């Protein structure tokens, strides 16, 4: 368990908080590119790391991410007019460009110079892989652009969604790197979910006896979860945790690779991103439709929002009859909302002073230690892990090997990025 002080250290992500300052050293997924579909389109509210922001695409196609409220009287610029290379406040006409600079102050003569001294906080943005990424850290510390495999694939080869999760980012990450829960929470779906059924991995993942072997990696942790397979063999699931909030889920043979990112909106909410991608061919249209319906690692959303149809307010539409007969082990439909239901049930910020960790929680313990160490390095102006392009260009994997085989040798080879080659999976 953690002390209350250490739990606070890990879960606070606002400006000035150690973890918040660490996170600001990375490129952050802020929006899906279709949220800003064209020049001069309506602005979009964005909340990242405790900061209320507004994003817009100006007349020249440039992206702006600036603080939400007008410097005059604090009106939300979400109500603003996006016109002629700037966002104009509807209250008194003050106008701001993509850098947050006031470019028009109608009530004051230009020669007064007042306009030049008014500037809102702004953050640089780039578009990559269907995502608008923001950098919120010191300009001189800006890292290389994101280099995950899925950001380089054609749009037809990937599907990216996001959903609002009503919990701190950390308990969501801890669920993502906890491979042992698959045998319990998701056991009813391993045989029925269209992306898992009839695979060797789904067959062996039902085993509740899990042994972990965790390796350090350049970007975070390589997490091996071992289960018994056929006599004389082990089934291994290799999860990648990449700093600061990414996971790559062990794939099942014939299916796409899946990943997550849990990005703090504030201390009590995060945006759960889900990425499904295939390195060798487009995602079939029927699979895209299944994803929209909340299959696999994605959630069905209330139209026009990022709030899941099944949510805290309606008890995740839990079906006690299906829970009892085993069709859904916890009675909630879909892998994504099964995860969200238990993670949100811990409270918006889990009280880790009361937990009792065991050997199956080794990856969680190590991830916390890596996060704390990295945040303290930032405080000392030290090196930040997970920023190098090569540390991000890795894969997850699953395989069956003989009991006597060398796990590390097989694992390190299986997770190598191989352009245009199927992932290692069973």
Alpha-carbon gap, residue 27 to 31, rounded angstroms: 12
Domain CATH for 247: 3.90.380.10
Whether 177 and 46 map to the same domain: the answer is: no
**Cα–Cα distance list, 345 to 49, 90, 163, 172, 313 (Å):** 22, 41, 17, 11, 12
pLDDT of 197 higher than 70: no
Alpha-carbon gap, residue 210 to 362, rounded angstroms: 12
Alpha-carbon gap, residue 239 to 220, rounded angstroms: 11
Rounded mean pLDDT, 268-290: 96
Whether 265 and 203 map to the same domain: the answer is: yes
Q: Which of 141, 166, 196 is the last residue of a domain?
A: 141
Domain CATH for 113: 2.102.10.10
Whether 104 and 169 map to the same domain: the answer is: no
| Confidence at 157, pLDDT banded by 50, 70, 90 | very high
The phi, psi pair for 19, rounded to 5°, reads -70, -35
pLDDT of 193 higher than 90: no
What percent of the chain has pLDDT above 70? 98
Domain count, the chain: 2
Whether 105 and 215 map to the same domain: the answer is: no
Tokens describing residue 40: 């001069």
Alpha-carbon gap, residue 411 to 383, rounded angstroms: 27
Whether 68 and 199 map to the same domain: the answer is: no
User: pLDDT tens-digit profile of 253-266?
Assistant: 888 999 999 999 99
Q: Look up tokens 């201390």; give the residue.
A: 267
pLDDT of residue 326: 67
pLDDT of 29 higher than 70: yes
| Confidence at 151, pLDDT banded by 50, 70, 90 | very high
Alpha-carbon gap, residue 298 to 293, rounded angstroms: 8
pLDDT of 190 higher than 80: no
Average pLDDT over the chain reads 95
* 210 domain residue, yes or no: yes
Whether 219 and 278 map to the same domain: the answer is: yes
Whether 227 and 115 map to the same domain: the answer is: no
Tokens describing residue 121: 């906080």
Range of the domain at 217: 149-414
pLDDT of 1 higher than 90: no
pLDDT of residue 196: 66
pLDDT of residue 163: 98
Whether 136 and 162 map to the same domain: the answer is: no
* 2 domain residue, yes or no: no
Q: Which of 83, 114, 141 is the last residue of a domain?
A: 141
pLDDT of 397 higher than 70: yes
* 203 domain residue, yes or no: yes
* 6 domain residue, yes or no: no
**Cα–Cα distance list, 297 to 30, 50, 287 (Å):** 20, 26, 12
pLDDT of 139 higher than 70: yes
Whether 40 and 167 map to the same domain: the answer is: no
What is the reported pTM? 0.95
How many CA atoms lie within 13 Å of 71's alpha carbon, on the beta-carbon side? 20
* 8 domain residue, yes or no: no
Whether 203 and 57 map to the same domain: the answer is: no
pLDDT of 195 higher than 80: no
pLDDT of residue 4: 98
* 4 domain residue, yes or no: no
Rounded mean pLDDT, 121-145: 98
Whether 126 and 169 map to the same domain: the answer is: no
Q: Which of 141, 173, 198 is the last residue of a domain?
A: 141
User: pLDDT tens-digit profile of 65-122?
Assistant: 999 999 999 999 999 999 999 999 999 999 999 999 999 999 999 989 899 999 999 9
Alpha-carbon gap, residue 194 to 334, rounded angstroms: 11
Alpha-carbon gap, residue 201 to 252, rounded angstroms: 6
Q: Per this entry, what is the length of the chain?
A: 426
* 312 domain residue, yes or no: yes
* 20 domain residue, yes or no: no
Q: Look up tokens 């704390």; give the residue.
A: 372
Alpha-carbon gap, residue 232 to 63, rounded angstroms: 56
**Cα–Cα distance list, 52 to 74, 135, 271 (Å):** 12, 15, 14
Whether 241 and 99 map to the same domain: the answer is: no
Q: Look up tokens 């390589």; give the residue.
A: 222
């Amino acid at each position: 368990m953690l002390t209350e002080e250490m739990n606070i250290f890990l879960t606070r992500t606002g400006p000035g908080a150690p973890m918040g300052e660490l996170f600001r050293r990375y490129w952050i997924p802020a929006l899906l590119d279709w949220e800003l579909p064209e020049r001069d389109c309506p602005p979009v509210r964005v909340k990242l790391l405790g900061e209320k922001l507004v994003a817009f695409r100006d007349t020249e196609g440039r992206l702006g991410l600036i603080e939400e409220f007008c410097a005059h009287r604090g009106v939300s610029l979400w109500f603003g007019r996006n016109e002629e290379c700037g966002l104009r406040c509807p209250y008194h006409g003050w106008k701001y460009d993509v850098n947050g600079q006031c470019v028009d102050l109608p009530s004051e003569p230009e020669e007064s110079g007042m306009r030049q001294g008014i500037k809102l906080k702004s953050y640089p943005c780039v578009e990559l892989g269907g995502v608008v990424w923001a950098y919120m850290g010191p300009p001189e510390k800006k890292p290389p652009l994101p280099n995950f495999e899925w950001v380089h694939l054609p749009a037809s080869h990937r599907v990216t969604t996001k959903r609002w999760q009503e919990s701190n980012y950390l308990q969501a990450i801890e669920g993502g790197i906890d491979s042992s829960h698959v045998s319990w929470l998701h056991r009813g779906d391993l045989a029925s979910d269209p992306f898992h059924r009839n695979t060797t991995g789904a067959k062996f993942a039902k085993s509740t006896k899990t042994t972990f072997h965790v390796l350090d990696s350049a970007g975070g942790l390589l997490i091996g979860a071992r289960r018994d397979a056929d006599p004389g063999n082990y089934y291994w699931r290799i999860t990648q945790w990449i700093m600061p909030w990414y996971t790559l889920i062990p794939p099942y043979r014939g299916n796409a690779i899946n990943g997550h990112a849990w990005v703090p909106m504030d201390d009590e909410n995060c945006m759960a991103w889900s990425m499904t991608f295939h390195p060798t061919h487009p995602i079939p249209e029927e699979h895209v439709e299944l994803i929209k319906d909340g299959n696999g690692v994605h959630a069905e959303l209330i139209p026009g929002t990022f709030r899941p149809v099944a949510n805290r307010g309606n008890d995740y539409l839990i079906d006690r009859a299906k829970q009892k007969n085993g069709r859904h082990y916890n009675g909630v439909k879909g892998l994504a909302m099964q995860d969200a239901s238990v993670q949100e049930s811990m409270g918006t910020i889990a009280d880790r002073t009361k937990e009792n960790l065991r050997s199956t929680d080794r990856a969680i313990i190590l991830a916390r230690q890596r996060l704390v160490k990295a945040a303290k390095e930032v405080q000392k102006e030290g090196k930040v892990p997970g920023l190098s392009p090569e540390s991000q260009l890795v894969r997850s994997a699953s395989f069956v090997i003989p009991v006597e085989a060398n796990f590390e040798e097989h694992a390190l080879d299986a997770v190598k990025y191989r352009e245009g080659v199927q992932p290692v999976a069973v």
